[in-house]
Structure 1
Amino acid sequence: MVRDRGDDDALIEELAAIEHERWSHWQRYVHAKAVRRPDGSLVLSAELVERWERQFGMQYEDLPEDEKESDREQVRRYLPVLKRWFQDDEERSG
């Protein structure tokens, strides 16, 4: 079955809304960890910078289990949309 372009656009919009919420949550977390300077800029501790640099320098499979779980929690936000999308696709092709 060929998908309608509108279906793809609807899925993209739904996933983009989840992505924006994920990004907003992350930014609130980062801002809460930072120290605001009088000029409005934010300063992060050396410990946080070191931790995040270590994390983004690693492959997923090399992360400690608690950090993998944090990534899984983020993916779980997308799962209901994707399950519904694939279920609807199966029903359409039928």
Structure 2
Amino acid sequence: MNKDDIDAQLSSIFEKLAAIEHDRWSHWQRYMHSKCSMQADGSLLIPPNLVAQWERLIALPYDHLDEDEKNSDREQVQRYLPVIRDTLERRSPIVP
């Protein structure tokens, strides 16, 4: 498979992957908002324990996460795999 073929395959799934990414982001925002306190001015106050937890995670590379934290990221990647698998199965000859 050459570079043009790969680029064409990636282009064909770009919008599907973008839709998955939006769903993932929306899910995260709903979760985050549910953990915050709504202020009178409409802003959200994040509890200090969550700020500390998220700041710690932000600072760590993936390979320094514990298994539960890695599993959370792996769970998100699982959303993308059906689109990628479908594309590879449709576009690539299957070699036994």
TM-score range, shorter chain: 0.7 to 0.9
Scaled by the length of structure 2, the TM-score of the pair is 0.86
Specify whether residues 5 and 64 from structure 1 end up closer, same or farther in structure 2 by C-alpha distance, changes over 3 A only. Answer: closer
CA-based RMSD of the aligned residues comes to 1.9
* Worse-matched range after superposition: 16-25 or 82-91: 82-91
Deviation of 1:3 after TM superposition, in Å, equals 3.2
Q: How many residues align?
A: 92
Structure 1 residue 69 and structure 2 residue 71: aligned?
A: yes
Deviation of 1:10 after TM superposition, in Å, equals 3.3
> What residue in structure 2 maps to residue 38 of structure 1?
40
Q: Structure 2: which 5+ runs fail to align? A: none
Q: Distance in 2 between matches of 1:10 and 1:42?
A: 38
Q: Distance in 1 between matches of 2:76 and 2:11?
A: 22
Specify whether residues 5 and 29 from structure 1 end up closer, same or farther in structure 2 by C-alpha distance, changes over 3 A only. Answer: same
> What residue in structure 2 maps to residue 60 of structure 1?
62
Q: Are the counterparts in 1 of residues 9 and 91 from structure 2 also a CA contact under 8 Å?
A: no
Deviation of 1:5 after TM superposition, in Å, equals 7.1
Secondary structure class of the residue paired with 2:92? helix
Specify whether residues 80 and 40 from structure 1 end up closer, same or farther in structure 2 by C-alpha distance, changes over 3 A only. Answer: same
Q: What does the per-residue CA deviation read over 1:21-77, in whole Å, with 9 as the maximum and x for residues that have no partner?
A: 000000000000000001100000110000001001001111011010000000000
Structure 1 residue 25 and structure 2 residue 27: aligned?
A: yes
Q: Distance in 1 between matches of 2:10 and 2:56?
A: 36
Q: Structure 1: which 5+ runs fail to align? A: none
> What residue in structure 2 maps to residue 90 of structure 1?
92
Secondary structure class of the residue paired with 2:41? coil
